[in-house]
Structure 1
């Protein structure tokens, strides 16, 4: 089926989600394996979400329950994982416009993460290894 001009460009939103997930996971000092274990997922699922890919070769499109499970483990509001959560939906995610747009997202995420919970308190003590992936 051909894409129409008014069709949502989901890959741009999936890409923004993947960048947010990876950024927050690293800030929380968790590996993909640790995040997967704590959220009841397989590491491949976390990896696919962070690479914006799915098993069928398309863009990542996580279930709402997955987003909430990840947010719970990462100790953030679900909206921190969601691209453009506070603005009206456009055809393409504003966060993917350019590097400046993503830079602004990183600054805002950092600000929120720093004010909400220090890194040391976020990572479970039993899984304290540094993130490698």
Structure 2
């Protein structure tokens, strides 16, 4: 998965887990709501500073924003 789409998916998931709107996240991160929207749609290659601002607003380490999604192995059939 392309890094910017990976960031987009993680950002959207973390924002929704907090029941925040894009406007709320933008406010907490010191960004314009349009910037948050672009990030969530993978339309922007964010600067490191922007990623750090978003991570701080969400109270997560930067690694959580850029980490690939965890692949959960399928359970093996029984019997």
TM-score bracket relative to the smaller structure: 0.7 to 0.9
Structure 1 residues 75-84 or 40-49, which shifts more? 75-84
Distance 1:36 1:18 in 2: 14
TM-score (norm 1): 0.50
1:65 aligns to 2:46 (yes or no): no
Task: Give the secondary-structure state (helix, strand or coil) at the position aligned to 2:2.
Answer: helix
Gap runs ≥5 in structure 2: 73-79
**Cα deviations across residues 83-104 of structure 1 (Å, max 9, x unaligned)?**
34xxxxxxxxxxxxxxxxx463
Task: Find the counterpart in structure 2 of residue 12 from structure 1.
Answer: 2
Aligned length: 72
Tell me which residue corresponds to 1:104: 71
RMSD: 1.8
CA distance, structure 2, for counterparts of residue 67 and residue 26 of structure 1 = 17
Question: Which residues in structure 2 correspond to 1:77-96 (within 5 Å)?
Answer: 77-84=61-68
CA distance in 2, matches of 1:52, 1:29: 20
Does residue 51 in structure 1 map to residue 35 in structure 2?
no
State the TM-score, normalized to the length of structure 2: 0.82
